[in-house]
Chain A
Amino acid sequence: MRAARHAAPATLPIGSDADLAWVRQQVRQAAAELGFGLVQQTKLVTAASELARNTLVHGGGGQVRITPLDTGQSQGLRLDFVDSGPGIRDLEQAMTDGYTSGGGLGLGLSGAKRLVHEFEVDSRPGEGTTVTVTAWATPVSPSRPGPP
């Protein structure tokens, strides 16, 4: 049976603790509607929570765009976290497990990357940061993430 309708892309603000909770709920709902299994939902929501908090704490707030994807073969969800904060000067350092410029654990970026299938950071110092992640309900064989 084919899903009768697909949720349209949605943009949610990230400006407070309450917004983080709302983003988590909306990402979970969208993933569940696309047929993500429970573990895959949990991974994606956890990644979204990390990235949304970075948008809030390090980026000074911003927004997330939630886009359902359908290749005909598989269903996915793309999340774009966008802020116009200070940007990340040294991306390699920021992506290192345990690196934090504040009091965090430094696991948000590197951990989120491990929880999704596709991960991309576009950051310009002084202009802002966009982190884009994609997860698939049923991974497409050619683009399946191999071992690093």
Chain B
Amino acid sequence: MKKVQFSGIAPPLLLIAPQMAIVVIFFLWPAAEAVRTSFFIQDPFFGRAVFVGFDNYVNAVTRSDYLRSAAFTGVFVTAICAISLGFGLLFAVCADEVLRGEGPYKTLLMWVYAIAPPVAGLIGVMLFDQHIGPLVDFFAFFGWELQTGVDYWDTAFAMTVVAAWKQIPYNFIFFLSGLQGIPRSLREAAAIDCRSPARRFWTVVFPLLAPTSFFLLVINITYAFFETFGVIDVMLKGEPGNNPVSLVYKVYLDGFRGQDLGGSSAQSVILMVGVMLLTVVQFRFIERRVHYA
């Protein structure tokens, strides 16, 4: 990294000002507002707010629909990470075998990254469509009448698969470039030291992918928590009914549909604290086992 010495404090401050402005306007300020609102009950029609202390929090975490949503979110996030990281890695390993040293293919594969996530999301939703979805027909063949948007478990299944499917190309690209970054001689040294390719993978290649995996784990958890909003919304078509919803989607439902701004703010603050804790845990305990070569 090239180091530049500024004279005075003004130029560097000026340079980070736009970034800071964005952080303040779109993150810090709304966050502070959410914290403030979470201590009030808003009257949606007359704009009066009544201070209620921690009532909204107590209310939120003791309600059965909140707990149900939290349990679903836990399973949902875990499943998405497992599926999308697992398949991303599997595909990357397959591609890496073919790609070693072949320049043109590599560039072509980068396209996956450029076009895949949004398109994959659309395709995923279509695959599960009640009327035209081939997957619905496929499962019907085995006697499973998939009722996305109607049956709780069917919807949960479809949501998880589509959300995970959407993330696979992203993980694939990062794993692939991680694999390609491992020097050839290192794999060759391993080939001399160890007969079993599977064992070589788990003892040499996978540990060297640890920085990539750690990064992707953080990204995928964040994705599963927050960015799956769109997939859930499309699947539910605005009719939550008896269907599973993630905590983030529930914040939206309670706040904007249920007009319970205080309760919804409390939920979002709980989420915020949860994510902060998760991040701390990730960096404290997982990163310690990661080897940055």
Partners in one complex: no
Interface residues of A (CB under 8 A from B): none
